[in-house]
Structure 1
């Protein structure tokens, strides 16, 4: 720790003298790594997308339109140099409680998932996977995950590698009353993936309202969490960005917050480990991507995390 304190003192002294940022001063003061030290990971360019959300999984034309928009935004992200593009909950479809209701279109009830256009949905996901391979870009995309009847689907995030393979799936754990009563079965576990040396956690839907899930990911030593969220117009959704920024700052990691393209709601963006915006999509609700280079903040990590972990152990949090 003495070495760490001395390094920080020298960095701050240089920053005060030259007017450089702490990060710039650190680059000039830090000793060159020895030959046997592992190389430092280059920043990971992540694109977060806000896109149009449609609510009827039986609408084949709507599913195709959503898939086409997702692929257009994937192309935009790749052109901007992103290695990973992250989409909102409902990027292909976000079923509302009436769309598949067994009680009819005007009354909420258990969903009849046999009416969903599964073949079209799976074809759109297949096209996304092929484009991910073609563009060499990792893609994180939400969609219902079909399960054998009579089991309900999961509300899921698929992780498609830059070679077009589905390498992970996260199932939303903290379902709303509507989702749990009528639509989905909950998931059971956190999921992480590693992209270019960076470990990323996954969160979906109502997960954003549960801080313990984000503390869990900190304990799993992630560099960031990809959060996909769709409110469906529920009052209070403006708190989502406040919560996400707080989790980023409290856990000293990055958060990518993907939401729908909706001028009346929060906009998508990437939040740094101090809780500030590093990139954001247009607030007017235009479908778009924003890109930021995720990196490890030498001033905050691992020092802030180590301190929090020691404190938690000491006070049994």
Structure 2
């Protein structure tokens, strides 16, 4: 126990000094013979983006600029060695509830989706897919996904492979009151995908408020959850980022937090990547500009907390519990 305690202290000391997550620091502190016997660590460089906030999908020029900005950030990410780049909710356009309201803008009512320039959005997404193929880069992009005319669209994340193919799509499941009442059709299933052996899950919008979304992805063995949002209300609401840190810590996996830039706001939230211990591994600037930040993530193979927590939830403690009211058992101390 003493040797184990000393080893943990050495690992924590290195993590505090270097900023590495516990698992990475542990790999450096382990003796060489143990390291050689340890499972191979799979790694991937992830870029997290923050884009200029755009909320009017009637404006063709704004849709074009959003597409151009996404592709510019993709190029920067690839030049920096990224394998995957993660974008915010509504990176193509995050339709404003008042702009879309058929009785707006003073009142909020059912959205009139005929106002959306769908053909322009499709052209920009096609150009983005082609660039992903050219760069050999995976991209996860927030966008509205149209359904047939009788149904409201989904609020979605498109997962585009390094071959320029749409691999899968995540649709926001737990919507806000306005979204479910007037704007979108909810999704129904979690979505996972793999890149270079790293398994990702997707979350969107205000789903950071729902820990069951994140615990579900832990059970699905993801190594990183990609959470895209436009932020709370106000947009610099700090709870979203704090909750992302909490989910990373309690589930022992990486959380990528992608949010649009909100220039001119005091203490705006910024995009970033949270390590499994709950600390920020990288963050974009808070000056309200479009940007990316990067970090090398891994599959955390030496992590002991996830298997222990699963064991603890499986009925481990039941044989040790005292029947009846334990407060009435034993000698009174007070």
1:32 equivalent in alignment to 2:36: yes
Offset at residue 206 of structure 1 (A): 1.1
Provide the residue aligned with 1:313 in structure 2. 314
Q: Deviations over 1:239-295 (max 9, x none)?
A: 111100000000000000000112532110000000001111001122100000001
Provide the residue aligned with 1:107 in structure 2. 107
Structure 1 distance, partners of 2:65, 2:9, is 55
Q: Are residues 43 and 7 of structure 1, via their aligned partners in 2, closer, same or farther at CA, if it must alter by over 3 Å?
A: farther
Q: Deviations over 1:126-146 (max 9, x none)?
A: 111010001101000010111
**Mapping 1:71-90, distance limit 5 Å:** 71-90=71-90
Q: Are residues 59 and 16 of structure 1, via their aligned partners in 2, closer, same or farther at CA, if it must alter by over 3 Å?
A: closer
SS at match of 1:99: helix
Offset at residue 22 of structure 1 (A): 2.9
Structure 2 distance, partners of 1:41, 1:239, is 32
Q: Which runs of 5+ in 1 are unaligned?
A: none
Structure 1 distance, partners of 2:282, 2:65, is 26
Select 2:296's aligned residue among 286, 289, 293: 293
SS at match of 1:49: strand
Q: Are residues 91 and 32 of structure 1, via their aligned partners in 2, closer, same or farther at CA, if it must alter by over 3 Å?
A: same
**More displaced stretch, 263-272 vs 81-90:** 263-272
Q: RMSD of the alignment, in Å? A: 2.5
Q: Are residues 221 and 16 of structure 1, via their aligned partners in 2, closer, same or farther at CA, if it must alter by over 3 Å?
A: closer
Kept after mapping to 2: 8 A contact 1:97/1:108: yes
Select 2:26's aligned residue among 22, 25, 29: 22
SS at match of 1:32: helix
SS at match of 2:313: helix
Offset at residue 40 of structure 1 (A): 2.1
Kept after mapping to 2: 8 A contact 1:11/1:29: no
Provide the residue aligned with 1:243 in structure 2. 243
SS at match of 2:250: helix
Provide the residue aligned with 1:144 in structure 2. 144
Kept after mapping to 1: 8 A contact 2:284/2:292: yes
Aligned length: 306
Q: Are residues 109 and 51 of structure 1, via their aligned partners in 2, closer, same or farther at CA, if it must alter by over 3 Å?
A: same
Offset at residue 14 of structure 1 (A): 7.4
Q: Deviations over 1:127-186 (max 9, x none)?
A: 110100011010000101110011000000000000000001000001101111111010
Offset at residue 104 of structure 1 (A): 3.2
Offset at residue 200 of structure 1 (A): 0.5
TM-score, scaled relative to structure 1:
0.89
**Mapping 1:229-240, distance limit 5 Å:** 229-231=229-231, 233-234=233-234, 237-240=237-240
Structure 2 distance, partners of 1:232, 1:219, is 27
Q: Are residues 178 and 17 of structure 1, via their aligned partners in 2, closer, same or farther at CA, if it must alter by over 3 Å?
A: closer
Q: Are residues 282 and 29 of structure 1, via their aligned partners in 2, closer, same or farther at CA, if it must alter by over 3 Å?
A: farther
